[in-house]
Homo-oligomer: A and B are copies of this chain.
Amino acid sequence: MIDCGEGTQMQLSKYKIKRSKINHIFISHLHGDHYFGLIGLLTSMSLLNRTQDLHLHAPPELEQLIRLQLNFAATHLSYTLHFHPLENEGLIVDEKKIMVRCFKVQHRIACWGFFFQEKRNLRKVNAERAKIYEIPAAFYEKLQQGFDYANKKGTIVPNEEVTIPGARSKSYAYCADTIYDENICEKIKGVDLLYHETTYLKDLHERAAARYHSTTIQAAAIAQGAEAKRLLIGHFSSKYENLDEFLSETSGIFENTELAIQGSCYII
């Protein structure tokens, strides 16, 4: 889960997302719309008798707040909460199937973006062909990793002869709240899906800069610079009633753009 505004629990229920599927929570920064729902979620998980560990990656100040709130309520969580303070850019999660890196973005207060990268998918063994070459099943794991096979006679079977490529590993970048900052591009190069905020339409670029937010065409420029495949825009100022112009302004520069709409699912 990335960020957790007030009412997140109600949204989880509404969209039938099980709390038990959440093992990592990433908090970009300590503005209320990004974390006021967290403490309620953490305590509800305990009321539901969660036992699996939960990992929280967040600005260091948040730990004090959570500990205070648990202490004041004399609450002991039913599970282990691992607090991982965001302090330096780089790798913060390295699991079997996925890696997560954090990177700094520029906002009114310390703020972090997150880059999610699937690990390189293994090649798939064509078992029929592998049998023709009499490759033992014990070697299949090596084949998946791309190794060639050498039989007892010393003959080399090139990996490509008996495997096909695995699915391409995909990536997602979440740039949180940020002023226009070209430095982001290098950190998320080639990302499959980029979420970038567009708080304002392009005419309000001065207000955007003053408030450390971005406009439509700035998000599009970041997507271009990052050579992103697709762009998802959101965090629209509540003063706009209609979002059509957000889409038209942004896609005018970066065609493959979508609006982030509450409750929607975006397949990467």
- Write the residues of chain A forming the contact surface with B, with a CB cutoff of 8 angstroms: 6-7, 9-10, 30-32, 36-37, 39-40, 43, 59, 61-62, 64-65, 68-69, 72-74, 108-109
Please give the count of copies of this chain that the complex contains.
2
Per the bound structure, the CA–CA distance linking A37 and B7 in Å amounts to 9
Set of chain B residues within 8 Å of A74, measured between Cβ atoms: 108-109
Per the bound structure, the CA–CA distance linking A206 and B12 in Å amounts to 34
CB-based contact B64/A68 at 8 Å: yes
Per the bound structure, the CA–CA distance linking A30 and B75 in Å amounts to 11
Main SS class of interface, A: helix
Q: How far is the CB of A223 from chain B (nearest CB, A)?
A: 28
A40-B30 CB under 8 A given contacts A7-B6, A108-B74: no
Set of chain B residues within 8 Å of A59, measured between Cβ atoms: 72
A69-B6 CB under 8 A given contacts A74-B108, A74-B109, A109-B74: no
Set of chain B residues within 8 Å of A73, measured between Cβ atoms: 30-32, 109
Q: List 21 A-B contacts (CB under 8 A).
A: A6-B7, A6-B40, A7-B7, A7-B10, A30-B69, A30-B72, A30-B73, A31-B73, A32-B39, A32-B43, A32-B73, A36-B40, A59-B72, A61-B72, A62-B72, A65-B65, A65-B72, A68-B68, A72-B109, A73-B109, A74-B108
Chain B residue at minimum C-beta to C-beta distance from A8: B6
Chain B residue at minimum C-beta to C-beta distance from A5: B40
Per the bound structure, the CA–CA distance linking A9 and B32 in Å amounts to 13
Set of chain B residues within 8 Å of A109, measured between Cβ atoms: 72-74
Per the bound structure, the CA–CA distance linking A74 and B43 in Å amounts to 26
CB-based contact A68/B65 at 8 Å: yes
Per the bound structure, the CA–CA distance linking A68 and B7 in Å amounts to 21
Per the bound structure, the CA–CA distance linking A130 and B229 in Å amounts to 85
**Which of A9, A36, A39, A65 has the most B CB atoms < 10 Å from its CB?**
A36
Set of chain B residues within 8 Å of A72, measured between Cβ atoms: 30, 59, 61-62, 65, 109
Q: How far is the CB of A20 from chain B (nearest CB, A)?
A: 18
Per the bound structure, the CA–CA distance linking A10 and B7 in Å amounts to 9
Per the bound structure, the CA–CA distance linking A31 and B73 in Å amounts to 5
Set of chain B residues within 8 Å of A36, measured between Cβ atoms: 36, 39-40
Given contacts A10-B10, A32-B39, A73-B109, 10 further A-B contacts (CB under 8 A): A6-B6, A6-B7, A6-B40, A7-B10, A30-B69, A31-B73, A36-B36, A62-B72, A65-B65, A65-B72
Chain B residue at minimum C-beta to C-beta distance from A108: B74
